[in-house]
Amino acid sequence: MEIRSMHFVDRVRERLDDPELQRNLKRTRGRNAAARAASLGGLDDFDAVRARATEIRASVLRDLDLWLERFEREATARGATVLWAHDGDEACRLIIDIARRHDVRSVVKSKSMVSEEAGLNAALEAAGIRPVETDLGEYILQINDNEPPSHIIMPVIHKSREQVTELFARVHGTEPKTDIEALTREARERLRPAFLGADMGLSGGNFLVAETGSVAIVTNEGNGRLCTTMPRVHVALTGIEKVIPTLDDLATLLRILPRSATGQAISNYVSLLTGTKHDGDADGPAHMYFVLVDGGRADLVGSDFEPMLRCIRCGACMNHCPVYQTVGGHAYGWVYTGPMGSVLTPLFQGIGNARDLPQAATLCNQCGVVCPVSIPLPDLMRKLREKQVERGMRPWTERLAMRAWAWAAARPWAYSACARAAVRYLCWLAGGRASIPVMGLAPGWTSQRDFPAPAARTFRDMYARQRRGRAS
Amino acid sequence: MTSARDDILGRLRQRRPRDDAMRDATGEEIRRAIAHPERGPRPADAEDLVARFVERARAMTSSTDVCPDTGQVPARCAAWLRAMRLPLAVVVAPALADLDWRGAALSVRIGAAGRDDAVGVTPCFRAIAETGTLMLCSGPATPAVNSLLPQTHIAIVRSEHIVADMEAAWQAARAELTAWPRAVNFVSGPSRTADIEQTIVLGAHGPYRVHVLVVGT
């Protein structure tokens, strides 16, 4: 997917001014957060499960090369082929090669964020192979001229039912249906023949289990099951960081992934897929491939950003982020949105291509608190900010202001003179009122709220006066 | 030119340098971790696993019924289908071929479900009380499609196969399955989506309804 994160500020402005989007975002705001909170009661000790989940992910990353080798050995022994790709482009080439080898004309896809990273749909189409997205949300986006998703779990959270009604009637040429159940039914009926006729199923992978060389896929709709059961060929496309050691670890992570994502105790379908169909099996693919993509992940191992690789893509951070909840996912300009996107996008796509994302946070740490694998997201955003400063990527105005601040902060007389001048200016703006309605030099600050007027004297002045009083 | 595989693994190794002894020790740890899987923290077990399973399965929008012995399974299925005004034609997994389906006045086909089958019947390897989940293993006698393509899925669960949690289910699979199945599907109620306005709709791509018949209570 082409990155547009460099235009973050403009994109935010457009989205704040889009009344329809704002209405849609408001409709679902806070719902997932509430569902998550309600579901945690089902675990006797959430903190203990979270600590264990964190340790499982961290322990694999400590020895990722060896775990990957073990996974590869088990998967290969059970009939799968494991392929590796440096980046998305290479992954697309590998998948097109597989498709050609098996004479594949159409591909049904269940959700894969790595395929969004790689721009796989466009690559398949260019090679004359028809990709069909089957997750309802992803399907809606695909038929809407390949619109990008705005949330990793709920890709069309930014759309209203009216927009879907209009889209289905236009694209399917059917009577407009306003009922959500009828819309879902219409998509089901459109997609069923695609499942039954497809030559290849492409899935992502929530986890790769080293013990059995399997991929675990979590869905509610059942499209993941159809994509990996009906076609002759199954390709699981995923990042190299997704390995977990054992099936017991899968059980632990499944206690925490659906709860963090949608507040469910478990998703409707969890499939553990291992190798190809056996002799006598009536169903299942005859060929199974894993395509494991690096895409910037290997370079994070052993760095300050390694904890980000623990991410299990639940979306809890964005569901709790005040910035994401206000601007929606498209503003972020790439595949991943919200706090996890603000960390991953600059790391995968270059710090210079996503300069505003680590700044687009109040560092309130709601994301850090809810993350089921304890990723310190605000710390990582702060580290990315530090990198921008080190590399001289901040605007000259900000650099100048920081230098002036540093100069004054090191000289008490200058600092107190500046503070006194600022207080006098603010008191003049307040004109005797308790708050300042329009901030003279920075009117943007007061566009949504008043600024409290400062006390007439600075703390330092008051302190000095008090000491003088005590001395006399 | 080195392959992508060697390059990626090589870079990972560079970022985590180890000498031969360390590498061997880590390899040994990995073998041990897999041979003796460690269980994470689990919610306390229910006293009555069957009751817990039924309660949680209903919470996931499965319907449930109980039946004292296997011989009555076809009649109970037929009664439920009639009460639900569903077709009395079922496609039954070969593992359940020995039951007297015709005796229950059901039109029956033994085998894998196809696109036109309305009701699929499957056995269940284990069922998980913690979440009300069915654990279905694919195999020649248990095709995965029977719980996937038909609009209605009926699962026959033997009460002694209801276990506390997923860890116990994996333990049973490791101990009992001679060939590891291509697909292990955990099913918790009917297929659903909430993609449009976060409104839950049942029957997205899989079955509209899942009926669980617990046998041997």
Which bin fits A18, alpha (ψ -120 to 50), beta or left (φ > 0)?
beta
Gap from A292 CA to chain B (nearest CA, Å): 9
**Binning pLDDT at 50, 70 and 90, where does residue B116 land?**
very high
Query: How many interchain CB pairs under 8 A, A with B?
Result: 254
Query: A269 pairs with which residues across the strands?
Result: A219, B187
Whether residue B41 and residue A31 make contact (CB cut-off 8 A), yes or no, is no
Sign of the C-alpha dihedral computed for residues B68, B70, B75 and B79 taken in this order: positive
Q: Are A52 and B40 in contact (CB under 8 A)?
A: yes
* Closest of B58, B36, B25 to residue A62, by C-alpha: B25
Is the separation of the CB atoms in A283 and A277 below 8 Å? yes
Interface with chain A: mutation pick from B197, B202, B210, highest number of A CBs within 10 Å: B197
| CA–CA–CA angle A304, A307, A313 (5° rounding) | 140
> For B47-69, what is the mean pLDDT?
96
Q: Give the HSE-up count for residue A343: Cα atoms under 13 Å, Cβ half-sphere.
A: 27
Give CA–CA dist B17/B153, Å, rounded.
52
Question: CA-CA distance, A222 to A254, in Å (whole number)?
Answer: 17
Residue A405, pLDDT score: 93
Query: CA-based angle A57:A60:A66, to the nearest 5?
Result: 165
Higher pLDDT, A456 or A295: A295
Which pLDDT belongs to residue A472?
59
pLDDT at position B2 is: 67
Shortest distance, CA B49 to any CA of chain A (angstroms)? 16
Predicted confidence at residue A456, as pLDDT, reads: 81
Give the DSSP letter of residue A454: P
C-alpha closest to that of A344 among A372, A375, A302, A386 = A375
Q: How far is A81 from chain B (nearest CA, A)?
A: 13
B5 touches chain A (CB under 8 A): yes
Interchain CB distance below 8 Å, A65 and B12: yes
Strands B201-202 and B192-193, sheet pairing? antiparallel
Nearest to A225 among B34, B148, B189 (CB): B148
Contact criterion met (CB < 8 Å) for A268 and B203:
no
Q: Complex ipTM above 0.85?
A: yes
Question: Would you give the distance in Å from CA B58 to the centre of its chain?
Answer: 16
Letter string b/e over residues B21-40, b meaning 16 or more CB atoms within 10 A of that residue's CB: eeeeebeeebeebbeebebb
Nearest to A247 among B7, B29, B37 (CB): B37
pLDDT in tens, B156-174: 999 999 999 999 999 999 9
| Mean pLDDT over the full length of chain A | 95
CA dist., res. A341 & res. A380, Å (int): 11
Mean pLDDT of all residues in B183-189: 98
Q: Which residue has the tokens 């101990």?
A: B175
- Which position has the token pair 């992954």? A91
Residue B82 CB neighbours (<10 A): 12
Q: State both tokens at A178.
A: 């306003």
CB contact under 8 A, A298 and B15: yes
Average confidence (pLDDT) over A115-135: 96
Contact assignment for B188 to A276 by CB distance below 8 Å:
no
CB within 8 Å of chain B, chain A residues 151-180: 154-157, 159-161, 164, 180
End-to-end CA distance of chain A: 72
**With the C-alpha atoms ordered B114, B115, B118, B119, is the resulting torsion angle positive or negative?**
positive
Which pLDDT does position A440 carry in this prediction?
Answer: 79
* Range scoring the smallest mean pLDDT among A51-65, A286-300, A443-457: A443-457
Q: For strand B107-110 and strand B63-67, is the pairing parallel, antiparallel, or unpaired? A: unpaired
The C-alpha atoms of residue A243 and residue A250 are separated, in whole angstroms, by: 10
Q: Is the Cβ–Cβ distance between A372 and A260 less than 8 Å?
A: yes
> A183 and chain B: CB distance < 8 Å anywhere?
yes
- Inter-CA distances, B105 with A59, A86, B75, B86, B100, Å: 57, 59, 8, 14, 9
Is residue A460's pLDDT more than 90? no
Q: Residue A106 in contact with residue A199, Cβ under 8 Å?
A: yes
Q: Residue A375 contacts by C-beta under 8 Å, 6 or more apart in sequence?
A: A307, A308, A310, A311, A340, A368
- Looking at chain B, which residue has its C-alpha nearest residue A134? B205
User: Distance of alpha carbon A337 from its chain centroid, rounded?
Assistant: 4
Q: In the structure encoding, which two tokens stand for residue B5, read together?
A: 């595989």
Helix (H) or strand (E) holding A83: strand A80-85
CATH code: domain A43-299 is: 3.40.50.10420
Residue A225 pLDDT > 90, yes or no? Answer: yes
Q: Which stretch of DSSP H or E encloses residue B108?
A: strand B107-110
Is A74 a residue whose pLDDT tops 60?
A: yes
Task: Provide the residue ranges of all domains of chain A, joining segments of one domain with +.
Answer: 43-299, 407-471
Cβ neighbours for A406, distance < 8 A, ≥ 6 positions apart: none
CA neighbours within 13 Å on the CB side: how many for A168? 28
Separation of alpha carbons B207 and A59, rounded Å = 38
DSSP state, residue B188: -
Q: Nearest 5°: phi and psi at A243?
A: -70, 140
SS3 B13: helix
From edge to edge, which strands make up the β-sheet containing B107-110? B63-67, B209-215, B152-158, B119-123, B89-92, B107-110
The predicted structure's pLDDT at residue B208? 97
d(CA A302, CA B183): 35
pLDDT at A193: 96
Measured distance CA(B90)–CA(B88) in Å, rounded: 6
Tell me which range, A40-44, A367-371, A436-440, is most confidently predicted by mean pLDDT: A367-371
Flag whether pLDDT at A380 surpasses 70: yes
Per-residue pLDDT of A322-357, as tens digits, reads 999 999 999 999 999 999 999 999 999 999 999 999
Q: B192 by DSSP, 3-state: which?
A: strand
What is the rounded distance in angstroms from the CA atom of residue A257 to the CA atom of residue A276? 27
- Contact status of B40 with chain A (Cβ, < 8 Å): yes
Which residue in A272, A294, A373 has the most chain B C-beta atoms within 10 A of its own C-beta, making it the best mutation to test that interface?
A272
CA–CA separation, A365 and A306 (whole Å): 19
Does the CB of B32 have a partner CB in chain A at under 8 Å? no
Instruction: Please indicate if any CB of chain B lies within 8 Å of the CB of A234.
Output: no
Q: β-pairing, B162-163 with B201-202? A: unpaired
Top-confidence residue, B54 or A442: B54
pLDDT of residue A114 exceeding 70: yes
Burial (CB < 10 A; 0-12, 13-18, 19+), residue A133, is: buried
Chain B residues in contact with A83 (beta carbon < 8 A): 4
| Number of CB atoms found within 10 A of residue B170's CB | 24
